[in-house]
């Protein structure tokens, strides 16, 4: 109880105390409502276009789900592909890599 009445001081490394709200107003960046931007919900490309079979020979389609720099398979949370299609997609990418339709590594700079 006695500690509540004591003033708390921040370490004075920069010469002044910083109290109160941030200049930007917090996570909202100064805008009313507190939101920076509106993010659309990602939908599965294969479900929307009603693609049942993901063909390993379609390297143009599979190339959209492989990162250019590193050659890695892009995760679901970035692409918005549903879980069953992501599993089939990763198998198709691996098959396409084995027969040299897609690269294992990214492009060298």
Tally: H helices and E strands in the chain: 5, 0
Per-residue model confidence (pLDDT) at position 88: 96
Report the CATH number of the 45-98 domain: 4.10.640.10
Mean pLDDT of successive 10-residue segments in the chain (109 residues)?
58 58 55 72 91 94 93 93 96 96 83
Boundaries of every domain in the chain: 45-98
pLDDT at residue 107, rounded to an integer: 75
Distance CA 34, CA 46 (A): 34
């Amino acid at each position: 109880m006695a500690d509540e009445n004591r003033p708390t001081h921040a370490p004075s490394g920069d010469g002044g105390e910083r109290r109160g709200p941030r200049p930007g107003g917090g996570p909202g960046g100064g805008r009313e409502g507190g939101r920076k931007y509106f993010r659309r919900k990602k939908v599965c490309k294969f479900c929307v276009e009603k693609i049942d079979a993901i063909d390993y020979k379609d390297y143009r389609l599979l190339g959209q789900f492989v990162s250019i720099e590193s050659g890695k398979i892009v995760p679901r949370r970035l692409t918005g592909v549903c879980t069953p299609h992501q599993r089939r997609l990763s198998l198709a990418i691996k098959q396409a890599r084995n027969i040299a339709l897609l690269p294992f590594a990214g492009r060298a700079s």
